[in-house]
Amino acid sequence: DAGVTQSPTHLIKTRGQQVTLRCSPKSGHDTVSWYQQALGQGPQFIFQYYEEEERQRGNFPDRFSGHQYPNYSSELNVNALLLGDSALYLCASSPGGFSGANVLTFGAGSRLTVL
């Protein structure tokens, strides 16, 4: 049973460019959350998708947007990249809608470097 898969694993962009990261949740999970983990920091919540809608959002600017498809897979888009967007982007899935009591299953992440 495949867990959470993310692509690409690594990518390099330049300032001002746009990036799309992809995530397939664990089988049986319908909720996807995205986190940004900067070097030496813990994961920071970006947003959460359930039933193809953004249900909750962390303290991130509108340059960060997302989408969830009917098969529960999800994308994270970041526009007008800044150097400070360099980080590991983690996708996590969970079952049964958004609930703080749900255990998150994480992917290995997509490491974004902005030059």
Q: Which residues of this chain interact with another protein, rule CB under 8 A?
A: 4, 33, 35, 40-45, 48, 55-56, 58-59, 90, 92, 98-101, 103-109
- Please report how close the Cβ of residue 106 comes to another protein at its closest, in angstroms: 3
Q: Which is nearer to another protein, 19 or 92 (CB)?
A: 92
- Please report how close the Cβ of residue 32 comes to another protein at its closest, in angstroms: 12
Please count the other Cβ atoms lying within 10 Å of the Cβ belonging to residue 52: 12
- Please report how close the Cβ of residue 12 comes to another protein at its closest, in angstroms: 18
Burial class (CB in 10 A: 0-12, 13-18, 19+), 107: buried
Sign of the Cα torsion 29, 48, 16, 39 reads: negative
- Please report how close the Cβ of residue 79 comes to another protein at its closest, in angstroms: 22
Q: Which is nearer to another protein, 18 or 54 (CB)?
A: 54
Q: Which is nearer to another protein, 58 or 79 (CB)?
A: 58
Under DSSP, is residue 54 helix (H, G, I), strand (E, B) or coil? strand
Q: Which is nearer to another protein, 45 or 86 (CB)?
A: 45
Torsion angle in degrees (nearest 10) through CA of 91, 54, 20, 23: 30
8 preceded by a cis bond (ω within 30 of 0): yes
